[in-house]
Amino acid sequence: MVASYKTMADYMPDNGLQVVMFTHQDTGVWVDMVAIMWGAGLQVTAAWYIATETTSELKKGGYVQGTVLLVLRKRKEQASAYLDELVQEVKTEVERQMDTLLGLNQTIVSKRKKHAESNTLIENLFEDADLQMAGYAAALRVLTGYTHIDGRDMAAEALRPRTKGAKGVVSEIIDFAVQIANEHLVPEGIQPAIWEELTGSERFYLKMIELEALGLKKLDNYQNFAKAFRVNNDNSMMASSKANDARLKTGYEFKKTEFDGEFGQSGLRAVLFALYELQKDLDSDEVMSHLRDLVVDYHSRREALKALIHYIASKREKTAPREAEAARILLGRIQNERLGG
């Protein structure tokens, strides 16, 4: 592939360009793309993500609905960067790309609401899988702009045989790009300010609730987001880890377990315990007393807790209706409680 692209580059005028249509969700394949561009003396100067498929009853799940169009030009200058500078540049570019695509999604959602009365359903243009891929493309655009990273000639590095299982700097940067993209995916119904305050395990749990509400059950989704949110013990949150039938534990399934570690000591875990107690028909005054004891600085966090409970009530309506009902009861108790008592 390097030889083919280099030959095309050699016969291409200095102001010429190549357009590559590329669709893949595997990090390793994107690392190969970077190596090909470096080895051929090309750089990605623009990356356009376009929707190429529509949703239907026959196509549901975490599949890619679009394709990346990569614009390749000859690399005319020798540019170098240090890794710490490059990481920050990748972060900025990925966030810019995400904001663009999420803005398009919001436009579609507003049109859907506008046409709700006509029963015209307009889905998001881009799903999580698409946004992850856009993160790859953004990283590619930054990386191929440099010929040297930390003093290493990347064209020469690209031509070296790769050791199976080894993870180089490029692979780590691409992983970082997707991690930034995933962290940027604030679930609908949660304010960004609240999302920023949550731990990685809380973000993982809430994000997967959203995907479960959409009917997505692939274990890969859970593993990818656990990695993105740096969750080390996601198995403790899983009710099922089957390949195509994975799902989280509900509050009722957690029962009185898993109060250790980051997730166990979080406000979300305290909420799930309260939902368990309500489903066990425990007196609501006692449930509220336990919730206040479990949540550090409870009164200052009431608004955030209410947002999480409202979110659970809406997302669990179909997947765990008893939990959704318990969430509505808990939300009412918090809204009507006297401050300080």
Separation of alpha carbons 212 and 191, rounded Å:
20
Check whether 34 has a pLDDT greater than 70.
yes
Check whether 244 has a pLDDT greater than 60.
yes
Q: Measured at the alpha carbon of residue 199, what is the angle toward residues 310 and 228, in degrees to the nearest 5?
A: 105
> Sorting pLDDT into bands at 50, 70 and 90, what band is 341?
very low
- The reported pLDDT for the residue numbered 256 is 93
- The reported pLDDT for the residue numbered 293 is 96
Mean pLDDT in residue range 316-337: 95
Min mean pLDDT across 32-36, 179-183, 255-259 is at: 179-183
**Does an H or E element contain 171, and which?**
helix 169-183
> Sorting pLDDT into bands at 50, 70 and 90, what band is 58?
very low
- Whole-prediction pTM: 0.72
pLDDT in tens, 174-184: 778 877 877 77
Q: Phi then psi for 145, rounded to 5 degrees?
A: -80, -10
- SS3 state at 186: coil
Min mean pLDDT across 92-101, 125-134, 299-308 is at: 125-134
- SS3 state at 18: strand
Check whether 32 has a pLDDT greater than 50.
yes
Higher-pLDDT residue of 190 and 227 is: 190
- The reported pLDDT for the residue numbered 25 is 65
- Helix spans in 190-283 (H): 192-197, 200-213, 219-228, 251-254, 261-264, 267-279
Highest mean pLDDT among 117-126, 128-137, 227-236: 227-236
Q: What is the mean pLDDT of the chain?
A: 84
User: What residue ranges do the domains of the chain occupy?
Assistant: 2-183, 192-336
- The reported pLDDT for the residue numbered 100 is 83
| CB-CB contact of 66 with 105 (8 Å) | no
β-partners of residue 44 are 72
| CB-CB contact of 337 with 284 (8 Å) | no
Higher-pLDDT residue of 231 and 125 is: 231
Residue from 152, 174, 154 nearest 75 by CA: 154
Check whether 165 has a pLDDT greater than 70.
no
Check whether 340 has a pLDDT greater than 70.
no
Mean pLDDT in residue range 16-37: 82
Min mean pLDDT across 144-158, 244-258, 263-277 is at: 144-158
Check whether 198 has a pLDDT greater than 90.
yes
| CB-CB contact of 78 with 197 (8 Å) | no
Check whether 8 has a pLDDT greater than 90.
yes
- The reported pLDDT for the residue numbered 122 is 45
Check whether 312 has a pLDDT greater than 60.
yes
